[in-house]
A = this chain, B = another copy of it.
Amino acid sequence: MGKGRLEAFSDGVIAIIITIMVLELKVPHGADLAALMPLIPVVLSYVLSFVYVGIYWNNHHHMLHAASVIDGYVLWANLHLLFWLSLIPFATGWMGENHFEPVPVALYGLMLFMSSLAYLILERVLVSSNANNSPLVMAVGKDYKGPISSVLYLLAVPLSFVHVWLAFAVYLGVAILWFLPDRRIEKYLQR
């Protein structure tokens, strides 16, 4: 099975996910700055989710670049990841619409957790289907950021009920962890 079409399909789905989130930014009827105020939490949620989906696209790109064998298991593990990513616009919209209430913020964390779990599953499936591909096996073996992020997202779910900004600090922190180029992170972690 060709890798090209899997990449093209994933690119299409991720491009649509990243863009339909903006549809939650409903055009207000008023024409003054006050009419934009209620949209501020919606925009902030959008920025966070845009960065997250961008991170997933970036990592997905790198991981598939290293892979060579694409079989039925890989295809379904990939669709499973796209399924959870496709729920991020809903969780984003709910969180923004309700100005960061605890339940929507917790659900957002749960969706990030499920997405990161689906990504780890895709990693394992790719490794077992590409067992002779040492660069991929090594790259996945060194992936310590993936499991750490999953644990942090899961932790953020109960934290949302302690204080919503604690959960938010986790989401922002993990995003920064992925956003910064790896070398700096690695140096920081080695210290």
Q: Residues on A close to B: CB < 8 A?
A: 1-2, 5, 7-9, 11-20, 22-25, 27-33, 36, 47, 50, 54, 57-58, 61-62, 65, 72-73, 75-76, 79, 82-83, 86-87, 89-90, 93-94, 97-98, 101-104, 107, 179, 181
Residue of B with least CB distance to A27: B93
Which residue in B28, B57, B72, B90 is a CB contact (below 8 Å) of A58? B72
Known pairs A5-B7, A12-B11, A22-B86; A31 contacts B101 (CB<8 A): yes
Of listed A2, A11, A97, residue having the most chain B CB within 10 A? A11
Query: Is the pair B18, A15 in contact by a Cβ cutoff of 8 Å?
Result: no
Contacts known (A22-B89, A57-B9, A87-B22); A98 close to B16, Cβ less than 8 A:
no
Residue of B nearest to A71 (CB): B181
Q: Which of B24, B73, B86 contacts A19 (CB 8 A)?
A: B86
Q: Given A14-B9, A15-B13, A31 and B65 touching (CB < 8 A)?
A: no
